Chains A and B, each alone.
Chain A
Amino acid sequence: MAAAVAMETDDAGNRLRFQLELEFVQCLANPNYLNFLAQRGYFKDKAFVNYLKYLLYWKEPEYAKYLKYPQCLHMLELLQYEHFRKELVNAQCAKFIDEQQILHWQHYSRKRMRLQQALAEQQQQNHAAGK
């Protein structure tokens, strides 16, 4: 108990812990890393599962504003479910998630490209009509 109290008042230690947990929670956005963890049996460890539950504090806005890859929060929420953790042992599962993530990631750029194309076509038409 005294050691825990001492730990909490240790500024540098807390700052370090903050950075480490920030890094780790964002690593969870990487489906390949999750597959790695699953295959090495980390998801079967009760302490690890409890740790994942503890990491849910990153959902609070005061903490979430430090996240660069906000998709990690969704993965964290999914990881709370045992079924998901079990599924992640398969490589195809991880690959599927990866593909979907990348496709989703490209959603806005695709949309913008489509808009640009549409705009370019329209300009061409106007140009041709104006002639």
Chain B
Amino acid sequence: MAAASGGEKEKERPGGGAGAAGGNSTRERLLSALEDLEVLSRELIEMLAISRNQKLLPPDEENQVLELLIHRDGEFQELMKLALNQGKIHHEMQVLEKEVEKRDSDIQQLQKQLKEAEQILATAVYQAKEKLKSIEKARKGAISSEEIIKYAHRISASNAVCAPLTWVPGDPRRPYPTDLEMRSGLLGQMNNPSTNGVNGHLPGDALAAGRLPDVLAPQYPWQSNDMSMNMLPPNHSNDFLLEPPGHNKENEDDVEVMSTDSSSSSSDSD
């Protein structure tokens, strides 16, 4: 009989098939058609064999069988063509699937590369931002070199940060304001000066060392004229007892601390 070359096809045929026996897949239909052909042809051959032995036969049966055989054969041929088409389609599908796989892997490759690129860019952007921040910070802290030199001159000329070259132990000069200097400043003058020796220096030492004129000379830069009004301290200074930033008066009974604030501050932070 015709070879069932489409043996591995299991496609379903859309729509109804020929009303033959067997399942819906082409393969099953092909196989059932083959079986029918086989049966019919066997019958025919038997009938021919019988008719050779006997004389008579109902002629209808022969014709019927023949017709059935032809019919089945026709069906079989159609099914074969169908199987062939389906094979082609299946082949195309495989080709397309391969294409799809190839595109898939291409896309994955691109995705990987994109991810890498994104990471590199993100790092670059982050570092650029950090750089910008540090540039901003540096710019904020920029001070003219002239000012710095002036300041350096000021603090070293008065021996505030570098000892005088002739300093020996016993010299009352110090890198910080001494007792006498503190008392003769604005703070000390405001209240009654306390009688304890605050430092290790008694007031007499300064006189004895002959340093008085220097000590009483303008110590602090406000006595020169460089203070400008917009250099005032931050304005929440009057309340220190409450939680910062709400402060209260800080000047209970401390001798040296300024006490003029109390006269005009009575406000709470709210």
Q: A-side interface residues toward B, CB under 8 Å?
A: 1-4, 6-8, 10-11, 13-24, 26-27, 29-33, 36-37, 40, 42, 45-48, 50-51, 53-54, 57, 61-63, 65-72, 101-102, 104-109, 112-113
Contact = CB atoms under 8 A, between A and B. Distances in A.
A72 B256 CA distance: 16
Contacts of A62: 231
Given A69-B176, A109-B167, A8 B233 contact: no
Contacts of B258: 16-17, 20-21, 24
Contacts of A20: 186-187, 190, 258, 260
30 contacts: A1-B268, A3-B265, A7-B267, A14-B232, A15-B229, A16-B258, A17-B232, A17-B261, A19-B222, A21-B237, A22-B222, A23-B185, A27-B176, A29-B176, A30-B182, A32-B199, A33-B199, A36-B198, A47-B241, A48-B254, A50-B240, A51-B240, A68-B219, A69-B175, A70-B161, A101-B176, A102-B174, A102-B175, A105-B163, A105-B174
Nearest to A1: B267
A1 B269 CA distance: 7
Contact of A54 (B186, B200, B234, B261): B234
Residue among A16, A23, A51, A69 with the highest chain B CB neighbour number at 10 A: A23
Contacts of A66: 220-222, 226-227, 231
A24 B162 contact: no
Interface of B: 141, 143, 147, 151, 154-155, 158, 160-165, 167, 174-179, 182, 185-187, 190, 196, 198-200, 219-222, 226-227, 229, 231-238, 240-241, 244, 247-250, 252, 254, 256-258, 260-261, 264-268, 270
Contacts, number: 185
A38 B168 CA distance: 29
A54 B247 contact: yes
A17 B250 CA distance: 13
A86 B42 CA distance: 119
Contacts of B196: 36
A28 to B, nearest CB: 8
A71 B185 contact: no
B252 A45 contact: yes
A123 B264 CA distance: 67
B237 A54 contact: yes
B233 A70 contact: no
A51 B256 contact: no
Contacts of A13: 260, 264
Nearest to B140: A61
A19 B264 contact: no
A3 B177 contact: no
Contacts of A26: 176-177, 220
A63 B174 contact: no
A84 B179 CA distance: 22
Contacts of A70: 155, 160-161
Contact of B199 (A30, A51, A105): A30
A85 B71 CA distance: 115
Contacts of A102: 163, 174-175
A2 B267 contact: yes
A119 to B, nearest CB: 15
Contacts of B226: 66
A29 B161 CA distance: 11
Interface-centre pick from B154, B185, B190, B252 (highest chain A CB count, 10 A): B185
A101 to B, nearest CB: 6
Contacts of A104: 175
A72 B268 CA distance: 30
A61 B144 CA distance: 11
Given A18-B231, A19-B222, A50 B264 contact: no
